[in-house]
Amino acid sequence: MLRLSLLLTLLVLGSAGALVSCSSGQLWVVNTLARNGDYLVQADIPYGPDPRQRLDLYQPVASVPSARMTLVFVPGGCWGACDTFPKDDYRFIADTFTAHGYTVVIPNYRLFPAHGFADIIADVAAAVDLIWQQGGALGIDNQRLVLSGHSAGGQMVALLALDERQLSPVAHQQVIGWIGLAGPYDFFPFTEDYQPALFAPESRYGDSQPVNFVEGGEPPALLLYGHDDVRVKPRNILGLSARLQAEGVPHQAICYDGIDHAGIIGALSRPLRDTRPVLADMLRFLQQLEQGPPDTRLADVSCRQ
């Protein structure tokens, strides 16, 4: 098993730009490694009647010191308009954070074009609401929820944290912070052909923009971005960061050289998590949340247009 793990690690690290394209084959490799992790999983917990309305719950084993907070991670994939991998393919995220004592929840959600954004964001909200409602029965901490997501998932957790209409009031009160990895937060006017239909009707286009919902008093945020990202423009991080700063919302914005759109999430995989700063920065933020909100200054002002 050790030799197999070493071989798989070398395959990932030796691939061009390891996880840059985030192909199904590369995800298979990192998830094969993740299956050796120390965690317990409850798979396919329903939060609605549709087959896509399912979530997986990962808990640290008893021998791992518990951090108690629950991390809800929402996958990306253009809301269904481009490659959207199922929740099972993000087992490596659970492997990484359960090793540090966090319970991890990863939901699926319904997809465009069969469903518009109103259905998609409602699914993610319903998954978070289920964790709040049934957390005690599931044996997890439902009093301290941290939301996280990559790409479109980052946009959705930003809306859940910033737009109080999305979650039930009680569930929203339990969100103590959120982390966006390469999320689009300020992307109107739309630049992708599918987006007008996805976010229709036109009268609700503004509801898709997290930057529109910062009024002060929102949960602390960590915004992570790679300067080599060509899918999500830096204006998304810069625009939201400026708005959070103006309203005094505790947040940190960190931009990395040499990391692209898929590479920022690949940095959380077992072969790469000790060679990139992404995981360390996320863990630092989570530890700060344990102690109280981080300060309002930018932790890194290297983000550039």
Tokens of 142: 């439902």
- The residue assigned the tokens 């929402």 is 74
Q: What angle separates helix 117-138 from helix 152-162, to the nearest 10 degrees? A: 70
pLDDT value, residue 260: 95
pLDDT value, residue 62: 77
- Of 88, 125, 103, which is closest to residue 57 (Cα–Cα)? 103
**Rounded Cα distance, 126 and 284, in Å:** 28
**Rounded Cα distance, 178 and 175, in Å:** 8
| Domain limits, the chain | 37-291
pLDDT value, residue 20: 38
What are 106's strand-pairing partners? 56
Mean pLDDT by 10 residues, the chain (305 residues): 38 40 57 74 97 96 80 96 88 94 97 98 98 92 95 98 96 97 98 97 98 96 96 96 93 94 93 91 93 62 68
Tell me if 85 sits within 8 A of 168, measured CB to CB: no
pLDDT value, residue 84: 79
* Segment (H or E) for 172: helix 169-173
CA-to-CA separations, 251 to 10, 58, 95, 124, 162, in angstroms, rounded: 36, 27, 26, 23, 13
Q: What angle separates helix 2-14 from helix 24-34, to the nearest 10 degrees? A: 150
DSSP code of residue 294: P
User: Apex CA 68: angle with CA 57 and CA 179, to 5°?
Assistant: 75
Instruction: Count each helix (H run) and each strand (E run) in the chain, helices first.
Output: 10, 8
Tokens of 146: 């941290």
Supply the pTM of this predicted model.
0.91
pLDDT value, residue 275: 87
Q: What is the CATH number of domain 37-291?
A: 3.40.50.1820
pLDDT value, residue 5: 39
Tell me if 269 sits within 8 A of 30, measured CB to CB: yes
pLDDT value, residue 15: 40
What lies within 8 Å, CB to CB, of 49 at 6+ separation is none
